[in-house]
Chain A
Amino acid sequence: EPEVTQTPSHQVTQMGQEVILRCVPISNHLYFYWYRQILGQKVEFLVSFYNNEISEKSEIFDDQFSVERPDGSNFTLKIRSTKLEDSAMYFCASRPGDEKLFFGSGTQLSVL
Chain B
Amino acid sequence: GDSVTQMEGPVTLSEEAFLTINCTYTATGYPSLFWYVQYPGEGLQLLLKATKADDKGSNKGFEATYRKETTSFHLEKGSVQVSDSAVYFCAPYSGGYQKVTFGTGTKLQVIP
Contact = CB atoms under 8 A, between A and B. Distances in A.
Task: Verify that A and B bind, or say they do not.
Answer: yes
Interface of A: 4, 31, 33, 35, 41-45, 48, 50, 55-56, 91, 93, 99-106
B35 interface: no
Contacts of B103: 42
Contacts of A102: 46
B49 A43 contact: no
Given A100-B49, A103-B43, A42 B104 contact: yes
A42 B105 contact: yes
Interface of B: 32, 34, 36, 42-46, 49, 51, 89, 93, 95, 97-105
B19 to A, nearest CB: 21
B79 to A, nearest CB: 27
B99 A48 contact: yes
Contacts of A100: 46, 49
Contacts of A106: 42-43
A89 B46 CA distance: 18
B43 A104 contact: yes
A91 B98 contact: no
B109 to A, nearest CB: 14
A45 B44 CA distance: 13
Contacts of B51: 99
A58 B53 CA distance: 29
Contacts of A43: 44, 89, 102, 105
Contacts of B49: 99-100
Given A44-B102, A101-B36, 15 more contacts: A33-B99, A35-B102, A41-B104, A42-B102, A43-B89, A45-B100, A50-B97, A56-B99, A91-B44, A99-B32, A99-B49, A99-B51, A100-B49, A103-B44, A104-B43
